[in-house]
Structure 1
Amino acid sequence: MAKDIDNPCVSLCQLNSELCVSCGRTREEIRKWRGMKRPEKMATVQRAATRMKAIVKKNAKRQTGE
Structure 2
Amino acid sequence: MSKNPCIDICKFADDICIGCGRSKREIKHWKKLDKAERRVVLAEADLRLLALKLAGRRKSR
Q: Identify the TM-score tier after normalising by the shorter chain.
A: 0.7 to 0.9
* Identity across the alignment (%): 26
2:27 maps to 1:26: no
Output the TM-score relative to the length of structure 2: 0.85
For structure 2, the residue ranges without an aligned partner over 5 or more in a row are none
Count of matched residue pairs: 57
- Looking at structure 1, the residues matched to 9 and 51 of structure 2 have their Cα atoms a distance apart, in angstroms, of 18
Larger deviation, residues 39-48 vs 16-25: 16-25
The RMSD of aligned alpha carbons is 1.3
Within 2, Cα distance between the matches of 1:58 and 1:12? 18
* Residue in structure 1 matched with residue 49 of structure 2 by the alignment: 52
Q: Looking at both structures, which has the greater relative contact order when contacts are Cα pairs under 8 Å and sequence separation is at least 6?
A: 2
If the length of structure 1 is used for normalisation, what is the TM-score? 0.79
